[in-house]
């Protein structure tokens, strides 16, 4: 019965989005049902850039709040809706605007680099945005004698500092509760049970730092290790000749991996790596947002214009 309800609701959502001329975007961590009704799935910045290209003037963003804000910043002439306004982000919440301004005062000549997983208000105070895929390139583009304030993710920041060899980089002590919960022992256990498995890891994971040198050397107890963004993971596992993969990121990405590679085996590094904020988005909430055209995400123009500058500087590098 539930399957039938889900199927009919999906059909109704697909009919409504065409009728109302709405494009639906879904992050890779969304539940399978929501990914199924999306026009595009991907990472947060990739989806926002896609939204700017499509002809539809209304975007329904199935993701967390900062992602919908980013879409509104990149497409100021479009209306951005979100199925649940309460879908937040522990990483985004780990730094406030007052904390950032005080930090900048302590380092008046520093260049501020912030992960795209931040609020619009935080982005408006940045010199550069970055993603997990291009953070290394953004930092490399900044003159070596310039101090860098990197926020808010300490694991991504530690990874970037090690890869670039940067000594004058200060890192905010924020974390994503999901990625921080994936421990080295989780991975060791999985890799030991799958001797021929490749290991793909998101740089936000707490296990990144202790495994950095092993990963750089190209092995981890004989297993191939790749530190990649979510989109990088999807591309890598598709192109790899390996059949078994241990995946260290939010478990929602496994659905798309299995869809695109039915002949391969994907094991989560931790079955507990689920973001409760991402999972707040349901088919029922998508339907309600479409029917009522509610939960619009609006970024004030002054904040959006400043934030857009930080994003554009990043895009010019990467």
> Binding site for [4Fe-4S] cluster: what residues are annotated?
89, 176, 275
Known binding residues: 27, 44, 89, 115-117, 132, 176, 202-204, 230, 275
Q: Which of 117, 114, 88 is nearest to 101 (CA)?
A: 114
Give residue 147's Cα distance to chain centre. 26
Strands 169-171 vs 198-201: parallel, antiparallel or unpaired: unpaired
In this structure, are residues 172 and 94 in contact, taking their beta carbons and an 8 Å threshold? yes
Known binding residues for iminosuccinate: 27, 44, 115-117, 132, 202-204, 230
Instruction: Read off the tokens for 196.
Output: 């021929």
Q: How far apart are CA 171 and CA 303, in angstroms?
A: 24
In this structure, are residues 269 and 247 in contact, taking their beta carbons and an 8 Å threshold? yes
Instruction: Read off the tokens for 208.
Output: 């990144």
Helix ranges (DSSP H) in 27-64? 32-37, 44-53
């Amino acid at each position: 019965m539930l399957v039938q309800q889900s199927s009919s609701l999906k059909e109704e959502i697909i009919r409504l989005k065409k009728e109302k001329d709405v494009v639906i975007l879904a992050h890779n961590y969304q539940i399978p049902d929501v990914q199924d009704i999306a026009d595009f799935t991907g990472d947060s910045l990739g989806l926002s850039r896609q939204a700017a290209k499509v002809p539809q003037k209304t975007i329904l963003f199935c993701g967390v709040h900062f992602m919908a804000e980013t879409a509104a910043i990149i497409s100021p002439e479009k209306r951005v809706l979100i199925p649940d306004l309460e879908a937040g982000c522990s990483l985004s919440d780990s730094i406030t605007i007052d904390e950032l301004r005080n930090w900048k005062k302590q380092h008046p000549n520093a260049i501020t680099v912030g992960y795209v997983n931040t609020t619009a208000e935080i982005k408006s105070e940045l010199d550069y945005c970055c993603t997990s895929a291009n953070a290394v390139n953004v930092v490399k583009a900044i003159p070596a004698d310039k101090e860098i304030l990197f926020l808010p993710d300490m694991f991504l920041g530690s990874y970037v500092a090690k890869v670039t060899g940067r000594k004058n980089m200060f890192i905010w002590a924020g974390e994503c509760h999901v990625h921080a919960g994936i421990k080295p022992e989780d991975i060791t256990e999985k890799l030991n049970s799958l001797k021929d498995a490749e290991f793909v890891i998101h740089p936000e994971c707490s296990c990144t730092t202790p495994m950095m040198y092993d990963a750089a050397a190209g092995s981890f107890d004989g297993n191939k290790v790749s530190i990649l963004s979510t989109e990088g993971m999807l591309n890598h596992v598709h192109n790899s000749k390996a059949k078994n993969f241990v995946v260290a990121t939010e478990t929602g990405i496994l659905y798309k991996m299995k869809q695109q590679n039915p002949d391969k085996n994907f094991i989560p590094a931790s079955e507990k790596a689920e973001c409760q904020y991402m999972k707040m988005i349901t088919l029922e909430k998508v339907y309600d947002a479409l029917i009522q055209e509610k939960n619009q995400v609006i970024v004030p123009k002054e904040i959006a214009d400043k934030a857009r500058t930080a994003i554009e500087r990043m895009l010019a590098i990467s």
